[in-house]
Amino acid sequence: MLTGDVMSFEAAGKAKRRKSNAHVIVCGNEKGGSGKTTTSMHITVALLKAGFRVATIDLDTRQKSLTRYVQNRRNFAQTHKVDLELPSHFRFDTATVDSQRDAQSEDFAAFVRAVSDVEESHDFVVVDTPGSDNYLMRLSHSMADTLVTPMNDSFVDFDVLGRVDGDSLEIVDVSHYAMMVREARRQRRLADNGLLDWIVVRNRLASIGSRNQLNLHACVKELSLRLGFRVADGISERVVYREYFPKGLTALDDVKNLGLTDRASRSHHSALLEIRNLIKMLRLPVDEAGRQRADARKVWLQRSAEPVAMPDIFA
Ligand X SMILES: Nc1ncnc2c1ncn2[C@@H]1O[C@H](COP(=O)(O)OP(=O)(O)OP(=O)(O)O)[C@@H](O)[C@H]1O
Query: Does 203 sit near Mg ion (CB under 5 A)?
Result: no
Query: Does 269 sit near ligand X (CB under 6 A)?
Result: no
Helix (H, G, I), strand (E, B) or coil at 147: strand
Query: Which residues does 258 contact at the CB level (< 8 Å), separation at least 6?
Result: 80, 82, 249
Q: How far is the CB of 225 from ligand X (least distance, A)?
A: 25
Between residues 239 and 309, which has the closer beta carbon with respect to ligand X? 239
From 6-14, 65-73, 290-298, 300-308, span contacting Mg ion (CB under 5 A):
65-73
Using the rule CB under 5 A, which residue among 16, 23, 31, 36 binds Mg ion?
Answer: 36
- Give the 3-state DSSP-derived string for 178-228, with helices as H, strands as E and coil as C: HHHHHHHHHHHHHHHCCCCEEEEEEECECCCCCHHHHHHHHHHHHHHHHHC
Query: Does 37 sit near ligand X (CB under 6 A)?
Result: yes
CB atoms under 10 Å from CB of 306, counted, come to 10
Task: Give the number of residues written for the chain.
Answer: 315
Query: Binding pattern to ligand X, positions 44-83, x when CB under 6 A?
Result: ----------------x--x-x------------------
Query: Does 290 sit near ligand X (CB under 6 A)?
Result: no
Strand partners, 126: 25, 56
Query: Does 242 sit near ligand X (CB under 6 A)?
Result: yes
**What residue type is assigned to position 190 of the chain?**
L
Helix (H, G, I), strand (E, B) or coil at 105: helix
Query: Does 161 sit near ligand X (CB under 6 A)?
Result: no
- Distance, in Å, from the CA atom of 160 to the CA atom of 283, rounded to the nearest integer, reads 25
Between residues 31 and 122, which has the closer beta carbon with respect to ligand X? 31
Number of residues this chain uses to bind Mg ion (CB under 5 A): 3
Query: Does 256 sit near ligand X (CB under 6 A)?
Result: no
CA dihedral 115, 49, 277, 7 (to 10 degrees): 120
Query: Does 142 sit near Mg ion (CB under 5 A)?
Result: no
With CA atoms as reference, report the closest residue to 22 among 298, 302, 300.
298
Q: How far is the CB of 62 from ligand X (least distance, A)?
A: 9
Q: What is the binding site for ligand X (CB under 6 A)?
A: 32-38, 60, 63, 65, 130-131, 203-204, 235, 237-238, 241-242
Q: What is the binding site for Mg ion (CB under 5 A)?
A: 36-37, 65
